[in-house]
Amino acid sequence: MRFLVCIKQVVDTSKMEVDPSTGRLNRSKANSIMNPYDRHALEEAFRLRDQNGGTVTVMTMGPPQAEAVLLEAVSMGADDIYLITDRAFGGADTLATSYTLAQAVRKLEPFDMIFCGQESIDSNTAQVGPQLASMLGIPDVSAVTALALTGRTAEITRQMEEESEVLTAELPLLATVAPSLNHPRYPSIQGLQKKWTVKAQILTAADLQADPGRIGIQGSPTQVKRVRPVAPPKKENLVIQETKTADSVRVLMQALQKAQVF
């Protein structure tokens, strides 16, 4: 079987700050890392390859330095890696990103299963996986918490708020995986050695025969204009010092009305 995993290089949001003068993210103090959700997508592809045989291909879209997360995937067990990079892809929103990934999948297909992380920590939209499946015309299941393959039939459990839903679907399909699905493996010694001997295969806009109007900023109907930190509301403590019960109740009721509790 051929498994494909789409991963993303993101900024470690725990160390990222907002520049108050520009309203933009200050990425200079934060390291770039593999999106943590994508590690679970990788692990599931590796697990199914170990059980059913086949290969795991990993791709990412980003600047040249995004090759670092692909090499990390190699150290964990990836067979083939592809870097989708071109200045024309700059400024892409989720729609343009999904289109670009779909063009790459069409160039490299067929794949039996495609995996994505449930969402990325830098935007948290959870849109790319479902959009990619829609553009490829294959089923998708999101928030997967359990997965088993029998031949070309997948039995999938996904989380739906407080409830779980069990589905069956025929391959090919795309799954976005929840962190509770598995525990990602560590790089192996052989993987770490292989990491230094391989390079990602490059795919450009010309390689993908991409429509210029559907990639990068030209193909992005949504754009982030400004980012600002959100200050949590201040908590106020109410101390009632009235000596009479009736007065205490009156003060409490006034406070509740002010807080718009009712």
Q: Which string of DSSP letters, residue by residue, matches 63-83?
A: SGGGHHHHHHHHHHT-SEEEE
Q: Does residue 238 or residue 100 have the better pLDDT?
A: 100
User: Each residue of 174-205: pLDDT tens digit?
Assistant: 999 999 999 999 999 999 999 999 999 999 99
User: Each residue of 71-120: pLDDT tens digit?
Assistant: 999 999 999 999 999 999 998 999 999 999 999 999 999 999 999 999 99
- What share of the chain in percent tops pLDDT 70? 94
How confident is residue 223, by pLDDT bands cut at 50, 70 and 90?
Answer: confident
CA 223 → CA 113, 139, 153, 226, distances in Å? Answer: 31, 28, 39, 9
Q: What is the CATH code of the structural domain delimited by 2-219?
A: 3.40.50.620
**pLDDT at 5 > cutoff 80:** yes
User: Each residue of 124-179: pLDDT tens digit?
Assistant: 899 999 999 999 999 999 999 999 999 999 999 998 888 899 999 999 999 999 99
Domain residue ranges of the chain, discontinuous segments joined by + = 2-219, 236-262
CA nearest neighbour of 6 among 63, 56, 64, 49:
56
What is the Cα–Cα distance from 57 to 49, expressed in whole angstroms? Answer: 11
- What share of the chain in percent tops pLDDT 90? 72
87 residue type, one letter: R
Phi-psi label, residue 13: left if phi above 0, alpha if psi -120 to 50, beta otherwise: alpha
User: Radius of gyration over alpha carbons of the chain, in Å?
Assistant: 23
What is the Cα–Cα distance from 13 to 21, expressed in whole angstroms? Answer: 19
How confident is residue 23, by pLDDT bands cut at 50, 70 and 90?
Answer: low
**pLDDT at 214 > cutoff 70:** yes
CB 231 within 8 A of CB 104: no
Can you give the pLDDT at residue 48? 97
How confident is residue 13, by pLDDT bands cut at 50, 70 and 90?
Answer: confident
